[in-house]
Structure 1
Amino acid sequence: MKPWHPPSGLRQGLPFAVDDTWTPEQAWAVLELLDDLRDRVWTHYGLAVQELLREQRVTQEPLDDFDQDLPF
């Protein structure tokens, strides 16, 4: 079996396993907690995260010849 790699890329920290005996209500409570956490992180870091994403996605290529290669 392959090792699981979290999306964050972190390889150290506290191990966490999802209990497979949770009731649907317990699972829902965890999802609500995660939603609240995401909302609080976004409230505090939202603008900085948007700027970081913009920096990562914006091309540095000049757009002078952008329209010249289009067939229409």
Structure 2
Amino acid sequence: LIKNWDTPILIIHGEMDYRVPVDQGMAAFNAAQMMGVPSKILLFPDENHWVLKPQNSVYWHREFFDWIDKWCR
């Protein structure tokens, strides 16, 4: 249930993902924002379920580890 969300959430989504529609990632992000849960979304327009392009992978890793450093210390 969304009302029980309180853990910061980082959503990483490829807009070409056929397994999980991008609308679901956006809905989760919007719900977290409405509940005041610290949240961030990374959208990759040119990626599928996996982030494979080198430039996107570098960005993905930088943002992921920055998030971990911020919220898991």
Return the TM-score normalized by structure 2: 0.30
Which structure would you say has the larger RCO, counting Cα contacts within 8 Å and 6 or more residues apart? 2
Q: Work out which of the two has the higher radius of gyration on C-alpha atoms and give 1 or 2.
A: 1
Return the TM-score normalized by structure 1: 0.30
Q: Which has the higher strand share?
A: 2
